[in-house]
Amino acid sequence: SQLKVDIKRILLANAMKPLAGNQPLVDAIQKHGEVLFGEPIPAVGTPLYTDVRLYVERGIPGVIYGAGPRTVLESHAKRADERLDLEDLRRATKVVARTLQDLFL
């Protein structure tokens, strides 16, 4: 007997590409992230399906940044047991607050 498999792509999430307008936001997040987390925060494209990715594809600056484990596998993202360490949430909230302060005050 033969096995037949049909595959149909329902979503495609391309990795985000750098935009010139992103740099001040990226720089501020990296600066405060390194201070609060004690390690460099890399700027990498991630093939996740998020709204910000759609804006960036149209040339509108944006970044994906959030608290939690460093990989989708570690976080169990998009699953019933998605997880987040509360201390990571506290620190990431401070990163965002300090970033906004740098950019807008």
Domain 20-104 adopts which CATH fold? DNA polymerase; domain 1 (1.10.150)
Q: Specify the pLDDT at position 46.
A: 66
Contact 26, 63 (CB under 8 A): yes
Domain boundaries in the chain? 20-104
pLDDT in tens, the chain (105 residues): 799 999 998 777 777 888 888 899 999 999 999 999 999 998 886 667 788 888 888 888 888 888 877 777 888 877 888 888 899 999 999 999 999 999 999
Contact 94, 88 (CB under 8 A): no
pTM of the predicted protein model: 0.78
Locate 19 and state its tokens.
């935009």
Q: Specify the pLDDT at position 47.
A: 66
Q: Specify the pLDDT at position 25.
A: 93
Q: Specify the pLDDT at position 12.
A: 76
Spatial CA neighbour of 36 closest among 81, 85, 84, 98: 98
Locate 62 and state its tokens.
């944006």
- Dist. CA 105–CA 96, nearest whole Å: 13
Q: Give the contacts of 61 (CB within 8 A, at least 6 positions apart).
A: 19, 20, 21, 22, 25, 55
